[in-house]
Structure formats: C-alpha cells, structure tokens
C-alpha cells in the first residue's frame, strides 16, 4: 500500500534531498548502522575463519609454537576424508540432528497449536514450558547423568513405574543401542520450547479474517488446518529448524557432559571429535581442516535450505 511512497523516500532518496532535511544522508546512515556489525563479524568471525583456513594447510601444532612449520597442501583434508572415523561421527551427528529436529518440530508445533486454543492460564503454562531452554546445556548434560542412573536416577524409576519394568534392566547411556536416543531425549526436552515459541508466533500472526472467510466457504476444520494453518506457519517453523539445525550440528556441551562421546564412539558427534583433535592431541592444522570441512557442510546445507525458505516465504 505504501510501497510507492516508501520507495520514494527510503530506497531512492537522492542525496540532495537528504541534505536539505538536515542530518546525515541516507546512505551514510545505512553505512553507519551496518558497519559496526559487519566490522565486528569480520574481526571476530571472519578473520579467525581465514586464519583457520590457512592453518588447515599446515602441520601447525598450537602446543609447539616454535616448531618448524610446513605447508602440507591438502594432506590434512585427504587424511580426514580417507579416514573412516569422520563418517562414523557424521553418522552419529546426522542421527542426532534428524531425530531432534523431528521430535522438536512435531511436539513443538503440537504444543503451540494446543496453546493457541487459548484456554485459561495458557500464558502461565507457556512460561513454565519454556524453562528448560533457559538452563545451561553443560549443566543440563551433567545433571542428566544423574537422572539416567538406573539405580539412583529419576528417569529409569519413572519409566519403571509406568511400564512395570525393572528400573535397572536398561541403561540409557550405557547401552550402545540406547545412548543415541538418550541424547536425543535430553535435547528434545530442552529445546522443544524454542520451536514451540516460534510456531506460536506464527500461529498468532494469522489474521482471524482468513479463517472467517474459510468458514463462510464451509471449508472443514481439517481442510482449514492444512490449507491455512500449516502453510502460514511453515516459514516460521522453517526458521526455527534452521537455527536449531545449525546449533545441533555444532552440538558439543550437552553431549560431552552427558556421555563423553561413549559408549565407544556411539555418541561421538563431530564437535566432540574436533575437540579431541584440537585440544587434546593438539593437531591444530589437522583440526582446522576438520573444522573447515564441517563449516563447508553446514554452509552448503544451509544455503540450499535458505533458498527453499525464501521460496516458501514468497508463496
């Protein structure tokens, strides 16, 4: 509606108009506003990233700053990609990523939809549901090791109470088959509220008038849900998935505290492996290459995803 008016003022303000109305020109303001952000990101994110890329072609070890430094070309990359370990950790990460996103979207959306029924006190309960997200992941991971203890922990005893099984008959972090699920459960518990909040935001942004119009057309509730609710919430949901996906691909603190990557390598996610290479073996060059490979993976996936997201938004 105001596009044209705004275009005139905001987008194409000729410099002389701006000068006539005292103060900075629009272009100057735009730069003043954007520059600090870009500068900070360049200094604290991009500069280290470029440094990391350089290091990834060397045999540098941060614990021996005075040692002879060799350019090794692509050798670090070759070693990583030919080594079976990275595929194992990638698999563990993929399992974690897929199922946490799956459950968080499912439960988060369902909760948002239910809360949007606007029952009495929904505000209070929303706030309560959001609480786990505010805890520190490291502290959560640490405390859940206690909760998962078959003998003294809450989790097994509650499961036992409802199923009648012996609480000590299974061990969430000790069993190779259960451990990948143990980390999925904790992450889902912690971060479902995030997805829920953003879905709720999406639901509340749908104008009532659309439903009213659909009602006039005698569209069934079921049909309304699939043709109005879902498409309208989808961009929100996808943004939530984007942020959760990026975070969970980098997941470190929660899992390292919870399982330490075990049993064996079952829950050794890429970041845990990376930390071992970088800060325990001190193979800085090698770990830099590892980090770059991870970064390129997320970057590639995310750019495809953002393209899709933009398409959805344009619809």
Partner 1 sequence: MSSFSVTEPSDRQKWIAGILVVGYALITLMPLIWILATGFKSSPDAIAYPPKVLFEPTLEGYVNLFTTQTRQTPEYLEANPPTTWYEEIVHDKGMVIAGPSRFGGRFLNSVIIGFGSTFLSVFLGTLAAYAFSRYRIPLKDDLMFFILSTRMMPPIAVAIPIFLMFRSLGLSDTHAGMILLYTAVNLSLSVWLLKGFMDEIPREYEEAALIDGYTRFQAFCKVVLPQATMGIAATAIFCLIFAWNEYAFAVLLTSGNAQTAPPFIPTIIGVGGQDWPAVAAGATIFLLPVMVFTILLRKHLLRGITFGAVRK
Partner 2 sequence: MKTIHLLAAASIAVASGLGATRAHADELTLCWAAWDPANALIELSKDFEQKSGHKMSFEFVPWPNFADRMLNELNSGGQLCDLMIGDSQWIGLGAEAGHYVKLNDFFAAEGISMDDFIPATVTGYAEWPKGTPNYWALPAFGDVVGWTYRKDWFERPELRAEFKEKYGRELEAPNTLAELKDIAEFFQGREIDGKTVYGAAIYTERGSEGITMGVTNALYNFGFEYDDPENPYHLDGFVNSPEAVAGLEFYKQLYDCCTPPGSSDWYMSENIDAYKSGQVALQMNFAFIWPGVNADPNVGGERSGYFPNPAGPGGHFAQLGGQGISVVSYSDSKDAALEYIKWFAQPEIQSRWWDLGGYSALRAVVEDPGFATSQPYAQTFLDSMAIVKDFWAEPAYASLLLSMQERVHNYVIAGQGTAQEALDALVADWVEVFEDEGKL
The yes or no reply on residue 85 touching partner 1 (CB under 8 A) is no
The yes or no reply on residue 108 touching partner 1 (CB under 8 A) is no
Residue carrying the six token digits 């280290």:
48
The yes or no reply on residue 64 touching partner 2 (CB under 8 A) is yes
Task: Return phi, psi of residue 56, to 5°.
Answer: -65, -15
Radius of gyration of the chain (CA): 25
Which of the residues 70 through 99 are near partner 2 (CB under 8 A)?
71
In the list partner 1, partner 2, none, the entry touching 264 (Cβ below 5 to 8 angstroms by class) is: partner 2
Give the per-residue contact string, 271-290, with partner 2 (x = CB under 8 A; - = no).
Answer: -----x--xxxx--------
The yes or no reply on residue 130 touching partner 1 (CB under 8 A) is yes
With 0-12 / 13-18 / 19 or more C-beta atoms within 10 angstroms meaning exposed / middle / buried, residue 236 is: buried
Which of the residues 198 through 257 are near partner 1 (CB under 8 A)?
198, 200-202, 204-205, 208, 211-212, 215, 235-236, 238-239, 243, 246, 249-250, 252-253, 257
Q: Which residues pair with 58 in a beta bridge?
A: 71
Do you find a cis peptide bond into 300, omega within 30 degrees of 0? no
In the list partner 2, partner 1, none, the entry touching 311 (Cβ below 5 to 8 angstroms by class) is: none
Q: What angle do CA 169, 185, 304 make, to 5 degrees?
A: 145
The yes or no reply on residue 131 touching partner 1 (CB under 8 A) is yes
Min CB(144)–partner 2 separation in Å? 12
The yes or no reply on residue 262 touching partner 2 (CB under 8 A) is yes
What is the rounded CA–CA span in Å between residue 162 and residue 173? Answer: 20
The yes or no reply on residue 44 touching partner 2 (CB under 8 A) is no
Find the part of the chain contacting partner 1 (CB under 8 A) among 74-82, 95-103, 172-180, 288-296: 288-296
With 0-12 / 13-18 / 19 or more C-beta atoms within 10 angstroms meaning exposed / middle / buried, residue 262 is: middle
What is the rounded CA–CA span in Å between residue 81 and residue 296? Answer: 13
């Amino acid at each position: 509606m105001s596009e044209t008016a705004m275009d005139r003022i905001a987008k194409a303000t000729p410099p002389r108009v701006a000068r006539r109305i005292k103060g900075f020109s629009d272009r100057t303001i735009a730069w003043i506003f954007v520059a600090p952000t870009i500068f900070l990101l360049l200094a604290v994110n991009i500069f280290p990233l470029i440094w990391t890329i350089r290091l990834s072609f060397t045999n540098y070890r941060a614990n021996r700053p005075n040692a002879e430094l060799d350019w090794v070309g692509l050798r670090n990359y070759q070693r990583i990609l030919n080594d079976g370990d990275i595929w194992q950790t990638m698999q563990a990460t993929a399992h974690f990523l897929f199922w946490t996103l799956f459950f968080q979207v499912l439960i988060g959306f369902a909760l948002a939809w239910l809360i949007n029924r606007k029952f009495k006190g929904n505000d209070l309960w929303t706030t309560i549901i959001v609480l786990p997200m505010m805890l520190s992941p490291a502290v959560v991971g640490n405390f859940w090791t206690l909760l998962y203890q078959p003998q003294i922990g809450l989790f097994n005893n509650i499961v036992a109470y409802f199923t009648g099984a012996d609480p000590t008959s299974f061990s969430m972090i000790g069993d190779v088959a259960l451990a990948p699920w143990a980390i999925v459960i904790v992450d889902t518990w912690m971060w479902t509220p995030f997805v829920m909040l953003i879905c709720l935001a999406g639901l509340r942004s749908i104008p009532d008038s659309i439903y009213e119009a659909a009602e006039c057309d005698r569209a069934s509730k079921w049909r309304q849900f699939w043709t109005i609710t879902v498409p309208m919430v989808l961009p929100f949901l996808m943004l939530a998935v984007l942020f959760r996906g990026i975070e969970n691909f980098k997941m470190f603190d929660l899992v390292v505290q919870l399982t330490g990557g075990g049993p064996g390598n079952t829950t050794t996610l890429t970041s845990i492996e990376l930390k071992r290479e970088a800060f325990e073996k001190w193979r800085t060059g090698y770990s830099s290459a590892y980090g770059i490979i991870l970064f390129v993976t997320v970057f590639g996936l995310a750019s495809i995803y953002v393209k899709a997201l933009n398409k959805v938004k344009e619809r």
